[in-house]
Structure 1
Amino acid sequence: MDIQIEVKGQDEGAEVLKQFNSMVQELQKKEKMLPFISSAVFEVLRSGSGKIETKYSGNAVVLFSDIKSFTSISETRDPQEVVDMLNDYFSIWQDKIEKNGGIVDRFIGDAISVVYFEKSSPHFIHNAIQTSIEVMETLEKFNEKRKEKGEFIIENGVGLVFGEVYFSMVGDENKMEFLIQGIPVALSEYLEGQSRYSSHSHIILDSYIKEKVKYQYDFAEFEVENKDLDIFYEIIL
Protein backbone atom coordinates (compact mmCIF):
# COMPACT_ATOMS: atom_id res chain seq x y z
CA MET A 1 0.00 0.00 0.00
CA ASP A 2 1.38 3.43 -0.89
CA ILE A 3 -0.55 6.52 0.10
CA GLN A 4 2.39 8.25 1.73
CA ILE A 5 2.47 11.98 0.99
CA GLU A 6 5.77 13.77 0.48
CA VAL A 7 6.42 16.17 3.36
CA LYS A 8 8.24 19.42 2.64
CA GLY A 9 9.11 22.05 5.23
CA GLN A 10 8.51 22.28 8.97
CA ASP A 11 5.29 24.30 9.17
CA GLU A 12 1.95 23.22 10.63
CA GLY A 13 0.82 21.77 7.31
CA ALA A 14 3.93 19.61 7.15
CA GLU A 15 3.23 18.31 10.64
CA VAL A 16 -0.30 17.30 9.63
CA LEU A 17 1.07 15.36 6.66
CA LYS A 18 3.56 13.60 8.93
CA GLN A 19 0.68 12.57 11.17
CA PHE A 20 -1.23 11.27 8.17
CA ASN A 21 1.73 9.22 6.99
CA SER A 22 2.04 7.63 10.42
CA MET A 23 -1.66 6.76 10.37
CA VAL A 24 -1.15 4.94 7.08
CA GLN A 25 0.77 2.30 8.99
CA GLU A 26 -2.51 1.19 10.56
CA LEU A 27 -3.95 0.53 7.12
CA GLN A 28 -0.85 -1.40 6.15
CA LYS A 29 -1.80 -3.96 8.78
CA LYS A 30 -4.96 -4.56 6.76
CA GLU A 31 -2.94 -4.89 3.58
CA LYS A 32 -0.94 -7.78 5.03
CA MET A 33 -4.18 -9.72 5.20
CA LEU A 34 -5.00 -9.07 1.56
CA PRO A 35 -5.50 -10.41 -0.94
CA PHE A 36 -7.33 -12.79 1.39
CA ILE A 37 -6.97 -16.52 0.70
CA SER A 38 -10.55 -17.51 -0.04
CA SER A 39 -12.00 -20.72 -1.43
CA ALA A 40 -12.47 -18.86 -4.73
CA VAL A 41 -8.69 -18.52 -5.06
CA PHE A 42 -8.07 -22.22 -4.65
CA GLU A 43 -10.82 -23.10 -7.11
CA VAL A 44 -9.22 -20.87 -9.73
CA LEU A 45 -5.77 -22.38 -9.16
CA ARG A 46 -6.98 -25.98 -8.95
CA SER A 47 -6.06 -28.00 -12.04
CA GLY A 48 -8.15 -30.75 -13.61
CA SER A 49 -6.24 -33.32 -11.56
CA GLY A 50 -7.05 -31.48 -8.35
CA LYS A 51 -3.55 -30.11 -7.82
CA ILE A 52 -3.21 -26.49 -6.68
CA GLU A 53 -1.08 -24.64 -9.23
CA THR A 54 0.63 -21.29 -8.78
CA LYS A 55 -0.44 -19.88 -12.16
CA TYR A 56 -3.63 -19.67 -14.19
CA SER A 57 -4.84 -17.80 -17.26
CA GLY A 58 -8.45 -17.43 -18.27
CA ASN A 59 -11.37 -15.12 -18.94
CA ALA A 60 -12.43 -12.78 -16.18
CA VAL A 61 -13.98 -9.43 -15.36
CA VAL A 62 -11.59 -7.01 -13.68
CA LEU A 63 -13.14 -4.36 -11.42
CA PHE A 64 -11.23 -1.23 -10.49
CA SER A 65 -12.48 1.50 -8.16
CA ASP A 66 -11.09 4.42 -6.22
CA ILE A 67 -12.20 7.44 -4.24
CA LYS A 68 -12.47 10.65 -6.20
CA SER A 69 -10.28 13.60 -5.11
CA PHE A 70 -8.63 11.50 -2.42
CA THR A 71 -5.38 13.49 -2.48
CA SER A 72 -7.31 16.66 -1.69
CA ILE A 73 -9.20 14.88 1.09
CA SER A 74 -6.01 13.54 2.64
CA GLU A 75 -4.37 16.97 2.57
CA THR A 76 -7.27 18.89 4.10
CA ARG A 77 -8.75 16.48 6.65
CA ASP A 78 -7.56 15.18 9.99
CA PRO A 79 -5.33 12.13 9.36
CA GLN A 80 -7.11 9.91 11.88
CA GLU A 81 -10.48 10.84 10.39
CA VAL A 82 -9.24 9.84 6.93
CA VAL A 83 -7.87 6.52 8.14
CA ASP A 84 -11.10 5.71 10.01
CA MET A 85 -13.08 6.49 6.87
CA LEU A 86 -10.85 4.25 4.74
CA ASN A 87 -11.20 1.35 7.15
CA ASP A 88 -15.00 1.64 7.08
CA TYR A 89 -15.02 2.12 3.31
CA PHE A 90 -12.86 -0.93 2.57
CA SER A 91 -14.98 -3.00 4.94
CA ILE A 92 -17.94 -2.29 2.67
CA TRP A 93 -15.96 -3.52 -0.31
CA GLN A 94 -14.72 -6.66 1.39
CA ASP A 95 -18.23 -7.62 2.48
CA LYS A 96 -19.67 -7.26 -1.03
CA ILE A 97 -16.69 -8.94 -2.71
CA GLU A 98 -16.90 -11.99 -0.48
CA LYS A 99 -20.65 -12.19 -0.99
CA ASN A 100 -20.29 -12.16 -4.78
CA GLY A 101 -17.27 -14.44 -5.13
CA GLY A 102 -14.62 -11.94 -6.19
CA ILE A 103 -10.90 -12.11 -5.50
CA VAL A 104 -9.16 -8.98 -4.24
CA ASP A 105 -6.11 -8.31 -6.39
CA ARG A 106 -4.76 -5.42 -4.35
CA PHE A 107 -5.42 -2.22 -2.45
CA ILE A 108 -3.59 0.77 -3.92
CA GLY A 109 -3.99 3.55 -1.41
CA ASP A 110 -7.64 4.52 -1.74
CA ALA A 111 -8.21 2.19 -4.72
CA ILE A 112 -9.13 -1.46 -5.00
CA SER A 113 -8.75 -3.99 -7.81
CA VAL A 114 -10.88 -7.14 -7.90
CA VAL A 115 -11.12 -10.05 -10.34
CA TYR A 116 -14.08 -12.33 -11.12
CA PHE A 117 -13.07 -15.46 -13.02
CA GLU A 118 -15.32 -17.26 -15.46
CA LYS A 119 -13.93 -20.50 -14.01
CA SER A 120 -15.27 -19.59 -10.57
CA SER A 121 -18.90 -19.09 -11.54
CA PRO A 122 -21.10 -19.05 -14.66
CA HIS A 123 -22.51 -15.83 -13.21
CA PHE A 124 -19.13 -14.09 -12.90
CA ILE A 125 -20.17 -11.09 -15.01
CA HIS A 126 -23.36 -10.60 -13.04
CA ASN A 127 -21.40 -11.00 -9.79
CA ALA A 128 -18.96 -8.24 -10.75
CA ILE A 129 -21.80 -5.89 -11.62
CA GLN A 130 -23.72 -6.74 -8.47
CA THR A 131 -20.68 -6.02 -6.34
CA SER A 132 -20.41 -2.58 -7.95
CA ILE A 133 -24.10 -1.79 -7.52
CA GLU A 134 -24.24 -3.03 -3.93
CA VAL A 135 -21.19 -0.98 -2.98
CA MET A 136 -22.72 2.13 -4.57
CA GLU A 137 -26.00 1.60 -2.74
CA THR A 138 -24.24 1.00 0.57
CA LEU A 139 -21.98 4.00 0.00
CA GLU A 140 -25.06 6.21 -0.33
CA LYS A 141 -26.24 5.11 3.13
CA PHE A 142 -22.68 5.40 4.43
CA ASN A 143 -22.55 9.03 3.29
CA GLU A 144 -25.94 9.79 4.81
CA LYS A 145 -24.70 8.64 8.21
CA ARG A 146 -21.52 10.66 7.82
CA LYS A 147 -23.54 13.78 6.96
CA GLU A 148 -25.64 13.32 10.08
CA LYS A 149 -22.44 13.27 12.15
CA GLY A 150 -21.00 16.30 10.37
CA GLU A 151 -18.31 14.26 8.61
CA PHE A 152 -17.13 14.63 5.03
CA ILE A 153 -18.61 12.39 2.35
CA ILE A 154 -16.91 10.57 -0.51
CA GLU A 155 -17.62 9.56 -4.09
CA ASN A 156 -16.12 6.77 -6.13
CA GLY A 157 -16.24 5.29 -9.60
CA VAL A 158 -15.99 1.78 -11.04
CA GLY A 159 -14.49 0.40 -14.24
CA LEU A 160 -15.42 -3.14 -15.38
CA VAL A 161 -13.63 -4.90 -18.24
CA PHE A 162 -13.86 -8.46 -19.59
CA GLY A 163 -10.90 -10.29 -21.09
CA GLU A 164 -8.11 -12.79 -20.58
CA VAL A 165 -5.98 -12.27 -17.51
CA TYR A 166 -2.93 -14.01 -16.13
CA PHE A 167 -3.17 -14.90 -12.47
CA SER A 168 -0.33 -16.16 -10.28
CA MET A 169 0.61 -16.51 -6.63
CA VAL A 170 4.06 -15.34 -5.60
CA GLY A 171 5.85 -15.12 -2.28
CA ASP A 172 6.69 -17.44 0.59
CA GLU A 173 5.16 -18.80 3.79
CA ASN A 174 5.42 -15.35 5.40
CA LYS A 175 3.39 -13.49 2.81
CA MET A 176 1.66 -14.58 -0.37
CA GLU A 177 0.61 -12.09 -3.01
CA PHE A 178 -1.46 -12.33 -6.17
CA LEU A 179 -0.25 -10.96 -9.45
CA ILE A 180 -2.88 -10.28 -12.09
CA GLN A 181 -1.86 -9.08 -15.54
CA GLY A 182 -3.62 -8.40 -18.83
CA ILE A 183 -5.35 -5.68 -20.82
CA PRO A 184 -8.46 -5.67 -18.56
CA VAL A 185 -6.31 -4.58 -15.61
CA ALA A 186 -5.17 -1.32 -17.20
CA LEU A 187 -8.41 -0.66 -19.08
CA SER A 188 -10.60 -1.03 -15.99
CA GLU A 189 -8.45 1.57 -14.24
CA TYR A 190 -8.79 3.88 -17.24
CA LEU A 191 -12.59 3.52 -17.28
CA GLU A 192 -12.77 4.28 -13.58
CA GLY A 193 -10.86 7.50 -14.22
CA GLN A 194 -13.30 8.39 -16.98
CA SER A 195 -16.27 7.78 -14.68
CA ARG A 196 -15.89 11.33 -13.37
CA TYR A 197 -17.79 12.35 -16.52
CA SER A 198 -20.62 9.97 -15.71
CA SER A 199 -24.22 11.16 -15.63
CA HIS A 200 -25.73 8.15 -13.90
CA SER A 201 -24.14 5.46 -11.72
CA HIS A 202 -20.39 6.04 -12.21
CA ILE A 203 -20.16 2.33 -13.15
CA ILE A 204 -18.54 2.11 -16.60
CA LEU A 205 -18.14 -1.16 -18.51
CA ASP A 206 -17.16 -2.53 -21.90
CA SER A 207 -19.44 -3.60 -24.74
CA TYR A 208 -18.88 -7.33 -24.15
CA ILE A 209 -20.18 -7.14 -20.60
CA LYS A 210 -23.11 -5.00 -21.69
CA GLU A 211 -24.09 -7.49 -24.38
CA LYS A 212 -24.05 -10.40 -21.94
CA VAL A 213 -26.37 -8.74 -19.42
CA LYS A 214 -28.33 -6.33 -21.64
CA TYR A 215 -31.69 -7.71 -20.49
CA GLN A 216 -30.85 -7.51 -16.79
CA TYR A 217 -29.81 -3.86 -16.48
CA ASP A 218 -30.40 -0.51 -18.13
CA PHE A 219 -27.50 1.15 -19.94
CA ALA A 220 -26.49 4.41 -21.57
CA GLU A 221 -23.65 4.78 -24.05
CA PHE A 222 -20.60 6.39 -22.49
CA GLU A 223 -18.01 8.29 -24.49
CA VAL A 224 -14.41 8.25 -23.29
CA GLU A 225 -11.68 10.77 -24.08
CA ASN A 226 -9.60 8.27 -26.07
CA LYS A 227 -11.48 8.05 -29.37
CA ASP A 228 -9.40 5.06 -30.50
CA LEU A 229 -11.08 2.85 -27.92
CA ASP A 230 -14.28 0.83 -28.23
CA ILE A 231 -17.77 1.97 -27.28
CA PHE A 232 -18.41 1.79 -23.55
CA TYR A 233 -21.53 1.89 -21.42
CA GLU A 234 -22.72 3.16 -18.09
CA ILE A 235 -25.21 1.34 -15.90
CA ILE A 236 -28.33 3.33 -15.09
CA LEU A 237 -29.49 2.81 -11.53
Structure 2
Amino acid sequence: MTGLIIVAIYTLAGRALSLERLAVVVIVLGATSLLAGFLLISLATASMIGPLRSVRWAMEDITAGTLSRRVVVYDGTELGELQRGFNQMASGLQERERLRDLFGRHVGRDVAEAAELHEPELGGQDSRVGVVFVDLIGSTEMAVRSEASEVVDVLNQFFSVVVETVEEYDGIVDSFLGDAALVVFGAPRSMADPATATLACARVLGRRLQERVPDCRAGIGASFGDVVAGYVG
Protein backbone atom coordinates (compact mmCIF):
# COMPACT_ATOMS: atom_id res chain seq x y z
CA MET A 1 0.00 0.00 0.00
CA THR A 2 2.87 2.39 0.77
CA GLY A 3 4.37 1.69 -2.64
CA LEU A 4 1.09 2.51 -4.41
CA ILE A 5 0.82 5.79 -2.48
CA ILE A 6 4.37 6.72 -3.47
CA VAL A 7 3.59 5.98 -7.15
CA ALA A 8 0.44 8.12 -6.94
CA ILE A 9 2.35 11.06 -5.35
CA TYR A 10 5.10 10.71 -7.93
CA THR A 11 2.51 10.92 -10.71
CA LEU A 12 0.72 13.92 -9.17
CA ALA A 13 4.04 15.69 -8.87
CA GLY A 14 4.10 15.84 -12.66
CA ARG A 15 6.49 13.05 -13.28
CA ALA A 16 4.30 10.77 -15.31
CA LEU A 17 5.25 7.13 -15.63
CA SER A 18 5.10 5.24 -18.85
CA LEU A 19 2.56 2.47 -19.14
CA GLU A 20 5.23 -0.20 -19.21
CA ARG A 21 7.02 1.20 -16.16
CA LEU A 22 3.74 1.54 -14.24
CA ALA A 23 2.88 -2.10 -15.03
CA VAL A 24 6.28 -3.25 -13.78
CA VAL A 25 5.89 -1.22 -10.57
CA VAL A 26 2.40 -2.66 -9.94
CA ILE A 27 3.57 -6.22 -10.60
CA VAL A 28 6.56 -5.84 -8.24
CA LEU A 29 4.45 -4.24 -5.54
CA GLY A 30 1.71 -6.86 -5.93
CA ALA A 31 4.13 -9.78 -5.82
CA THR A 32 5.93 -8.34 -2.78
CA SER A 33 2.62 -7.77 -1.00
CA LEU A 34 1.42 -11.30 -1.72
CA LEU A 35 4.69 -12.82 -0.50
CA ALA A 36 4.80 -10.72 2.66
CA GLY A 37 1.13 -11.41 3.37
CA PHE A 38 1.58 -15.13 2.89
CA LEU A 39 4.55 -15.21 5.28
CA LEU A 40 2.76 -13.15 7.91
CA ILE A 41 -0.41 -15.21 7.70
CA SER A 42 1.60 -18.45 7.88
CA LEU A 43 3.43 -17.25 10.99
CA ALA A 44 0.21 -16.07 12.62
CA THR A 45 -1.58 -19.32 11.79
CA ALA A 46 1.31 -21.42 13.09
CA SER A 47 1.41 -19.45 16.35
CA MET A 48 -2.29 -20.25 16.87
CA ILE A 49 -2.40 -23.79 15.48
CA GLY A 50 0.74 -24.97 17.34
CA PRO A 51 -0.67 -24.65 20.89
CA LEU A 52 -4.02 -26.07 19.79
CA ARG A 53 -2.36 -29.07 18.18
CA SER A 54 -0.25 -29.72 21.28
CA VAL A 55 -3.40 -29.74 23.42
CA ARG A 56 -5.24 -31.99 20.95
CA TRP A 57 -2.39 -34.53 20.82
CA ALA A 58 -2.10 -34.45 24.60
CA MET A 59 -5.85 -35.07 24.92
CA GLU A 60 -5.50 -38.13 22.69
CA ASP A 61 -2.77 -39.44 25.01
CA ILE A 62 -4.95 -38.78 28.06
CA THR A 63 -7.83 -40.64 26.40
CA ALA A 64 -5.48 -43.57 25.74
CA GLY A 65 -4.64 -43.69 29.46
CA THR A 66 -1.36 -41.74 29.62
CA LEU A 67 -2.38 -39.47 32.49
CA SER A 68 1.17 -38.20 32.99
CA ARG A 69 1.01 -36.30 29.67
CA ARG A 70 1.65 -32.54 29.90
CA VAL A 71 2.04 -29.75 27.32
CA VAL A 72 4.54 -26.91 27.18
CA VAL A 73 2.98 -23.52 27.96
CA TYR A 74 4.05 -21.20 25.15
CA ASP A 75 3.16 -17.78 26.55
CA GLY A 76 0.72 -15.83 28.68
CA THR A 77 -1.95 -15.37 26.01
CA GLU A 78 -5.34 -17.03 25.93
CA LEU A 79 -3.78 -20.02 24.18
CA GLY A 80 -1.19 -20.25 26.95
CA GLU A 81 -3.99 -20.19 29.52
CA LEU A 82 -5.64 -23.04 27.60
CA GLN A 83 -2.43 -25.08 27.82
CA ARG A 84 -2.03 -24.28 31.51
CA GLY A 85 -5.65 -25.28 32.14
CA PHE A 86 -5.09 -28.58 30.35
CA ASN A 87 -2.06 -29.34 32.53
CA GLN A 88 -4.10 -28.63 35.66
CA MET A 89 -6.89 -30.89 34.41
CA ALA A 90 -4.42 -33.70 33.62
CA SER A 91 -2.86 -33.37 37.09
CA GLY A 92 -6.31 -33.61 38.67
CA LEU A 93 -7.17 -36.71 36.65
CA GLN A 94 -3.87 -38.35 37.58
CA GLU A 95 -4.39 -37.61 41.26
CA ARG A 96 -7.99 -38.88 41.10
CA GLU A 97 -6.85 -42.11 39.45
CA ARG A 98 -4.14 -42.57 42.09
CA LEU A 99 -6.66 -42.13 44.91
CA ARG A 100 -9.07 -44.46 43.14
CA ASP A 101 -6.35 -47.10 42.87
CA LEU A 102 -5.44 -46.73 46.56
CA PHE A 103 -9.10 -46.92 47.56
CA GLY A 104 -9.55 -50.06 45.48
CA ARG A 105 -6.49 -51.66 47.08
CA HIS A 106 -7.88 -51.04 50.55
CA VAL A 107 -11.51 -52.05 50.11
CA GLY A 108 -11.39 -54.15 46.93
CA ARG A 109 -12.01 -53.17 43.31
CA ASP A 110 -15.64 -54.21 43.25
CA VAL A 111 -16.48 -52.37 46.45
CA ALA A 112 -14.72 -49.26 45.16
CA GLU A 113 -16.63 -49.40 41.86
CA ALA A 114 -19.94 -49.86 43.70
CA ALA A 115 -19.14 -46.85 45.88
CA GLU A 116 -18.46 -44.75 42.78
CA LEU A 117 -21.68 -45.77 41.02
CA HIS A 118 -24.04 -45.30 43.97
CA GLU A 119 -24.12 -42.76 46.75
CA PRO A 120 -23.36 -44.58 50.01
CA GLU A 121 -26.37 -44.89 52.33
CA LEU A 122 -26.44 -46.43 55.77
CA GLY A 123 -28.28 -49.73 55.82
CA GLY A 124 -28.21 -52.88 53.76
CA GLN A 125 -30.16 -55.60 52.03
CA ASP A 126 -30.74 -59.27 52.72
CA SER A 127 -28.35 -61.48 50.80
CA ARG A 128 -27.24 -65.09 50.76
CA VAL A 129 -23.46 -65.14 50.80
CA GLY A 130 -20.54 -67.44 51.43
CA VAL A 131 -17.73 -66.47 53.80
CA VAL A 132 -14.20 -67.79 54.10
CA PHE A 133 -12.04 -66.89 57.08
CA VAL A 134 -8.34 -67.76 56.90
CA ASP A 135 -5.94 -67.21 59.77
CA LEU A 136 -2.28 -68.03 60.40
CA ILE A 137 -1.66 -70.54 63.19
CA GLY A 138 1.17 -69.73 65.57
CA SER A 139 1.69 -66.21 64.30
CA THR A 140 2.31 -64.87 67.81
CA GLU A 141 5.09 -67.37 68.38
CA MET A 142 6.56 -66.57 64.96
CA ALA A 143 6.53 -62.84 65.78
CA VAL A 144 8.40 -63.50 69.04
CA ARG A 145 11.18 -65.66 67.61
CA SER A 146 11.61 -63.87 64.25
CA GLU A 147 12.69 -60.45 63.10
CA ALA A 148 9.91 -58.02 62.22
CA SER A 149 10.99 -57.84 58.56
CA GLU A 150 10.83 -61.65 58.31
CA VAL A 151 7.31 -61.68 59.75
CA VAL A 152 6.22 -59.04 57.23
CA ASP A 153 7.67 -61.06 54.34
CA VAL A 154 5.79 -64.18 55.44
CA LEU A 155 2.55 -62.23 55.83
CA ASN A 156 2.95 -60.73 52.36
CA GLN A 157 3.46 -64.20 50.86
CA PHE A 158 0.47 -65.47 52.80
CA PHE A 159 -1.86 -62.67 51.71
CA SER A 160 -0.58 -62.85 48.13
CA VAL A 161 -1.80 -66.45 47.87
CA VAL A 162 -5.10 -65.52 49.53
CA VAL A 163 -5.84 -62.60 47.18
CA GLU A 164 -4.81 -64.56 44.08
CA THR A 165 -7.09 -67.49 44.96
CA VAL A 166 -10.02 -65.31 45.98
CA GLU A 167 -9.92 -63.39 42.69
CA GLU A 168 -9.97 -66.67 40.74
CA TYR A 169 -13.34 -67.50 42.33
CA ASP A 170 -14.76 -63.95 42.03
CA GLY A 171 -14.70 -63.37 45.76
CA ILE A 172 -13.96 -60.14 47.61
CA VAL A 173 -11.49 -59.70 50.46
CA ASP A 174 -13.70 -57.81 52.89
CA SER A 175 -10.91 -57.07 55.36
CA PHE A 176 -7.41 -57.99 56.51
CA LEU A 177 -7.26 -58.55 60.25
CA GLY A 178 -3.61 -58.65 61.29
CA ASP A 179 -2.64 -62.16 60.19
CA ALA A 180 -6.10 -63.11 58.96
CA ALA A 181 -8.44 -62.31 56.08
CA LEU A 182 -12.21 -62.32 55.75
CA VAL A 183 -13.48 -63.19 52.28
CA VAL A 184 -17.05 -62.80 50.99
CA PHE A 185 -18.75 -64.44 48.00
CA GLY A 186 -22.06 -63.02 46.73
CA ALA A 187 -21.92 -59.42 47.96
CA PRO A 188 -21.70 -56.68 46.87
CA ARG A 189 -21.39 -58.49 43.53
CA SER A 190 -24.09 -61.12 43.14
CA MET A 191 -23.15 -64.69 42.14
CA ALA A 192 -25.17 -67.58 40.77
CA ASP A 193 -23.76 -70.10 43.26
CA PRO A 194 -21.76 -68.47 46.08
CA ALA A 195 -21.84 -71.65 48.21
CA THR A 196 -19.90 -73.68 45.63
CA ALA A 197 -17.39 -70.85 45.10
CA THR A 198 -16.89 -70.57 48.86
CA LEU A 199 -16.12 -74.25 49.37
CA ALA A 200 -13.92 -74.49 46.25
CA CYS A 201 -11.92 -71.42 47.30
CA ALA A 202 -11.39 -72.79 50.82
CA ARG A 203 -10.13 -76.13 49.47
CA VAL A 204 -7.73 -74.54 46.98
CA LEU A 205 -6.49 -72.12 49.64
CA GLY A 206 -5.62 -75.01 51.96
CA ARG A 207 -3.60 -76.72 49.25
CA ARG A 208 -1.82 -73.64 47.91
CA LEU A 209 -0.81 -72.29 51.28
CA GLN A 210 0.88 -75.60 52.12
CA GLU A 211 2.72 -75.55 48.81
CA ARG A 212 3.76 -71.90 48.60
CA VAL A 213 4.07 -70.90 52.25
CA PRO A 214 5.31 -74.16 53.80
CA ASP A 215 6.69 -72.48 56.92
CA CYS A 216 3.21 -71.49 58.09
CA ARG A 217 0.03 -73.33 58.94
CA ALA A 218 -3.35 -71.76 58.35
CA GLY A 219 -6.77 -72.31 59.82
CA ILE A 220 -9.53 -71.99 57.23
CA GLY A 221 -13.25 -71.78 57.93
CA ALA A 222 -16.11 -71.65 55.42
CA SER A 223 -19.74 -70.74 55.98
CA PHE A 224 -22.85 -69.95 53.96
CA GLY A 225 -26.10 -68.27 54.90
CA ASP A 226 -28.23 -65.13 55.11
CA VAL A 227 -26.65 -61.76 55.94
CA VAL A 228 -27.44 -58.06 55.72
CA ALA A 229 -24.89 -56.55 53.34
CA GLY A 230 -24.39 -52.80 53.09
CA TYR A 231 -22.99 -49.76 54.88
CA VAL A 232 -23.02 -50.02 58.65
CA GLY A 233 -21.78 -47.28 60.96
TM-score by length of 2: 0.48
Which is richer in helix? 2
Higher strand share: 1
The structure number with the bigger radius of gyration is 2
